[in-house]
């Protein structure tokens, strides 16, 4: 008995219907925003991922040597491969470039609900844009994708890493101290942040105010806290414009300011955001992204870039948790030849109807009653029964599987009857 590898899954046809439905809705939304689909290889050079994330990532990914001794890795995410493709082939294309993608990714992670070793990721990259309206459109697209697939309970959180850096600067925290605090802030471990600030000899009142700003949703309060830092003034103004665009142009009201979003990756700069499904508990993040600087690390010219990734599998779990009613895929026609002599004509009719309809045919010669039972089980909307008497009259019997009503229809008029 062979077992499926740990952290991977099989998908039945009914599960695939759900996945394809969600994928098509996501793809449609991307295209409505002017994005074009791209695809990259499942494996890349190992160096591509260590250059972006450091050598430590080797413990988290599936890496191997090929028969030529080259160090390769199954992709753990899709941003780095798309950036590599951009540098290889797209740098001279007119800007902005709006790219989106779907693909399976692989991480050597501890499997749990919503987290697998093989998982599907959907995402996008916006290259050449650093305007507030560009960021607002990107964020709104992520939000609307999740709305359009059918989710009702989602929460958008928006932060800014440059503002967080200004807050660190206000406390005169060294780079090492900032690096110590960032993982704690990322996990919302604010009590531990307070303890660390005490160890760093920060005044308790100053530390408490720092935590208050980290956790407030009041943008005016955040701006006031760092108003003395003139270098951050433009960043504050731009973030304020992004928020205005979201509220007034994109009609998104349900968002929080969350300066504690850090994304946990060094290449993110400036605006960042996350979208959560509160019904999922601890593993609730469905979408995350923001502005980043990555192209120069791969040898390309400095270009504004931003994007996001959607946890495709987790989004489906969120839909199921909300008890979203996935439509059942139906078969248009199931053809039943009454006996072996009718098979040839049945196949001929099936081939004609498949130009416009989803058509299946009984291939097991099991008789009318069993074939009707099977047609019902596979959600056929109509059956076509082809017998000797019908053929002599150049007609067939069409049965509506929902009502049980039957009609004799001339074969020459059959397609028109079924398509009306």
Number of domains in the chain: 2
Are residues 232 and 202 part of one domain?
yes
Residue 176 belongs to a domain: yes
Are residues 346 and 290 part of one domain?
no
- DSSP assignment of 47-63 equals HHHHHHH-GGGGGGS-E
pLDDT at residue 112, as a whole number: 78
Write the CB contacts of 25 (distance below 8 Å, at least 6 apart in sequence).
145, 148, 149, 150
Residue 3 belongs to a domain: no
Q: Which of 265, 286, 321 is the last residue of a domain?
A: 321
Q: Is the pLDDT of residue 133 over 70?
A: yes
Rounded CA gap, 167 and 259, in Å? 10
The predicted model gives 355-384 an average pLDDT of 96
Are residues 133 and 280 part of one domain?
yes
pLDDT at residue 266, as a whole number: 67
- Residue 135's nearest CA partner among 275, 271, 265, 288 is 271
Alpha helices in 265-409 (DSSP H): 312-321, 343-353, 368-377, 388-392
Rounded CA gap, 265 and 51, in Å? 12
Q: Is the pLDDT of residue 299 over 90?
A: no
Residue 6 belongs to a domain: no
Are residues 317 and 335 part of one domain?
no
The predicted model gives 293-303 an average pLDDT of 86
Q: Is the pLDDT of residue 11 over 80?
A: yes
Are residues 368 and 295 part of one domain?
no
pTM: 0.90
Are residues 220 and 165 part of one domain?
yes
Per-residue CA distances from 6 to 3, 110, 119, 259 (Å): 9, 9, 12, 37
Residue 7 belongs to a domain: no
Are residues 289 and 182 part of one domain?
yes
> 394: which 2 tokens?
């150049």
Show the beta-strand stretches assigned E in 213-369.
255-257, 268-276, 285-292, 305-311, 331-337, 359-361
The predicted model gives 70-88 an average pLDDT of 95
Are residues 376 and 264 part of one domain?
no
Q: Is the pLDDT of residue 105 over 70?
A: yes
Q: Is the pLDDT of residue 114 over 80?
A: no
- Could you list the residue range(s) of the whole structural domain that residue 409 is in? 331-415
Peptide bond into 96 cis (omega under 30): yes
Rounded CA gap, 254 and 185, in Å? 23
Rounded CA gap, 16 and 33, in Å? 26
In the structure, what pLDDT confidence band is assigned to residue 282 with cuts at 50, 70 and 90? confident
In the structure, what pLDDT confidence band is assigned to residue 272 with cuts at 50, 70 and 90? very high
Q: Is the pLDDT of residue 264 over 70?
A: no
Check which CATH number belongs to the domain holding 375 and give it: 3.40.50.800
Are residues 352 and 210 part of one domain?
no
- Residue 163's nearest CA partner among 240, 109, 94 is 240
Are residues 341 and 310 part of one domain?
no
Q: Is the pLDDT of residue 265 over 60?
A: no
Check which CATH number belongs to the domain holding 126 and give it: 3.30.930.10
């Amino acid at each position: 008995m062979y077992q499926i590898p740990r952290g991977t899954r099989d998908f039945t046809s009914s599960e695939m219907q759900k996945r394809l439905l969600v994928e098509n809705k996501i793809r449609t939304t991307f295209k409505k925003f002017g994005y074009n689909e791209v695809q990259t290889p499942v494996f890349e050079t190992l160096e591509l991922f260590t250059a972006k994330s450091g050598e430590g990532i080797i413990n988290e990914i599936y890496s191997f040597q090929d028969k030529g001794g080259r160090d390769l890795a199954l992709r753990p995410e899709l941003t780095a491969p798309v950036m590599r493709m951009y540098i290889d082939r797209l740098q001279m294309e007119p800007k902005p470039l709006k790219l989106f993608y779907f693909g399976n990714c692989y991480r050597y992670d501890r499997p749990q609900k919503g987290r697998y070793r093989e998982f599907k990721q959907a995402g996008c990259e916006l290259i050449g844009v650093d305007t507030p309206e560009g960021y607002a459109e990107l964020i709104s697209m992520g939000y609307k994708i999740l709305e359009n697939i059918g989710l009702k309970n989602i929460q958008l959180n928006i932060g800014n890493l440059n503002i967080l850096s200004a807050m660190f600067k206000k406390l005169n925290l060294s780079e090492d101290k900032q690096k110590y605090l960032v993982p704690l802030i990322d996990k919302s471990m604010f009590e531990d942040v307070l303890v660390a600030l005490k160890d760093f000899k920060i005044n308790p009142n100053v530390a408490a105010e720092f935590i208050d700003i980290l956790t407030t949703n009041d943008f005016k309060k955040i701006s006031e806290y760092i108003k003395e830092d003139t270098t951050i003034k433009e960043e504050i103004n731009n973030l304020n414009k992004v928020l205005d665009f979201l509220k007034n142009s994109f009609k998104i009201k349900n968002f929080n300011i969350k300066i504690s979003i850090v994304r946990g990756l060094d290449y993110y700069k400036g605006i960042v955001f996350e979208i959560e499904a509160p019904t999922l508990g601890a593993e609730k993040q469905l979408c995350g992204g923001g502005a980043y600087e990555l192209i120069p690390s791969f040898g390309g010219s400095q270009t504004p870039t931003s994007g996001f990734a959607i946890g495709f599998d987790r989004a489906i779990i969120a839909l199921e948790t909300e008890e979203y009613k996935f439509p059942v895929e139906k078969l248009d026609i199931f053809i039943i030849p009454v006996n072996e002599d009718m098979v040839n004509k049945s196949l001929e009719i099936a081939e004609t109807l498949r130009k416009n309809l989803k058509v299946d045919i009984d291939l097991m010669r099991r008789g009318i009653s069993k074939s009707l039972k099977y047609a019902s089980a596979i959600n056929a909307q109509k059956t076509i029964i082809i017998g000797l008497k019908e053929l002599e009259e150049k007609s067939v019997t069409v049965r509506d599987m929902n009502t049980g009503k039957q009609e004799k229809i001339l074969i020459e008029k059959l397609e028109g009857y079924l398509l009306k």
